[in-house]
Amino acid sequence: MTRPDYAEKIPNNVGLADDRRLARALESWQPDFLSWWETMGPTLPTQDVYLRTAIDVRGEGWAQFGHVPMIDYRWGIFLADRNPDRRIAFGQHKGEPAWQKVPGEYRAELQRLIVIQGDTEPASVEQQRNLGATAPSLYDLRNLFQVNVEEGRHLWAMVYLLHAYFGREGREEAEELLHRNSGSEDSPRILGAFNEETPDWLAREIVLYLKRTLKRLDVTSRSLIALLEPGSCFAGSLLELALAADRSYLLSGVFETVPPTTGDADAAPAAVTVGAMNLGPLPMGNGLTRLATRFLGDPEALSAAEKALGEPLEAAGAERLGLVTFAPDDIDWEEEVRIAVEERASFSPDALTGLEANYRFAGPETIETKIFGRLTAWQNWIFYRPNASGPDGALRAYGTGKRADFDRKRV
């Protein structure tokens, strides 16, 4: 266990005292960081805010904390002790000794990952700098500032890695981490989400919750069919449910069984409305909106849909713009829906899962789509299932001349 050295100009438990060259490089970066924190950090007075600060690190890697006023917080580098026997836990190098130096063949990729991760830390602080003004209580304010400080501490860890392992390029990237600013037109943060304004505490949390929930819907191993009937409300953020579906059906007109004189919502045709929430705040794992994913490769169709912002579109208009899959009338409605469900059910569940994962994550390949789209679909939902790897699964039966025995249940 290595105790943090608070006697150093930069508190640390990584032995900076034994590497003066590295220490001097980090000490030259420190004033820029403090200036950035003063300029771009929390805007409210912090005299009543006490923060946890690392005072020790256990052998298992868990930090021990004390409490200090925010104004007295000491920025530094606190990492878990190195384990000389540590092994790589996954991938093609699984079981090999953990790297103590950056392999040349992975240098660019590792540096890029560290830079992107490092960029998110100050970006989060910048994006949240005014949120304290809407914090419901001092308790919430303290938690907000604690998050800000943790982001800053993580930034120091990333900067340490850049300085210690990536030479001049690493030092230049560390400087750039402080030169980019959230929302700046000239030098924005790397990830677009951190350049969006978040002026209100509650609104921010609601949008993030919606974003996370819809992303989980995208990766569910279920066929999603949206039925847009009279009385429904597929507008703005709720339209995302229809855009996330594998198919969407919007009833043209109303059901004949509903008298037109009833005056209730079922007597009016269903409509969809594109809103501001469909144009950026709720991206998919591929980094695109669901609207942009739907019209991938067709910028004219996307532009036409965006121009309909705020306009309620009934069946004919929504189908013309491509916002729904089909718009049958009352006569065909029940039969069209039945055929769609039976058609989906006719696929093997594993083929259906793979097909849906590929269709839902069109466009740019990102870490999220690789892990939660491709990897999750094929590895967790397909290859690990008995249909593939069970005693009578396809992988076991392959090449034997025997027919695999499939379980038709979806998951």
Residues 221-247 pLDDT 10s: 888 999 999 988 899 999 999 999 999
pLDDT of 273 strictly over 90: yes
Pairwise CA distance, residues 282 & 249, whole Å? 22
pTM value surpassing 0.75: no
Q: Which residue has the higher pLDDT, 43 or 278?
A: 278
The angle that helices 167-179 and 138-165 make with each other, rounded to 10 degrees, is: 150
pLDDT of 341 strictly over 50: yes
Task: Tell me phi and psi for residue 290, to 5 degrees.
Answer: -65, -30
Mean pLDDT of 372-385: 76
* pLDDT > 90 fraction of the chain, expressed in percent and rounded: 43
Pairwise CA distance, residues 282 & 192, whole Å? 12
Mean pLDDT of 55-63: 56
pLDDT of 54 strictly over 70: no
User: Taking a C-beta distance cutoff of 8 angstroms, is the pair 117, 173 a contact?
Assistant: no
Q: Which residue has the higher pLDDT, 244 or 380?
A: 244
Mean pLDDT of 165-172: 94
Assigned token pair, 185: 């037109």
pLDDT of 75 strictly over 80: yes
Query: Could you tell me the sign of the dihedral formed by the alpha carbons of 251, 254, 257, 263, in that order?
Result: positive
User: Taking a C-beta distance cutoff of 8 angstroms, is the pair 382, 388 a contact?
Assistant: yes
> Distance between the two ends of the chain, CA-based, in angstroms?
45
Question: CA distances (Å), 310 to each of 228, 323, 327, in order?
Answer: 18, 14, 20
Chain position carrying tokens 């993580």:
154
Pairwise CA distance, residues 386 & 107, whole Å? 39
User: Taking a C-beta distance cutoff of 8 angstroms, is the pair 324, 225 a contact?
Assistant: no
Pairwise CA distance, residues 181 & 188, whole Å? 5
Question: CA distances (Å), 381 to each of 218, 224, 332, 345, 351, in order?
Answer: 14, 16, 35, 17, 10
User: Taking a C-beta distance cutoff of 8 angstroms, is the pair 327, 252 a contact?
Assistant: yes
3-state secondary structure of 251: coil
pLDDT of the residue at 1: 46
Question: CA distances (Å), 120 to each of 36, 193, 404, in order?
Answer: 15, 10, 48
Question: CA distances (Å), 395 to each of 91, 250, 384, in order?
Answer: 22, 41, 11
pLDDT band at 317 (very low <50, low <70, confident <90, very high): very high
pLDDT of the residue at 378: 77
User: Taking a C-beta distance cutoff of 8 angstroms, is the pair 248, 336 a contact?
Assistant: no
Residue type (1 letter), 369: T
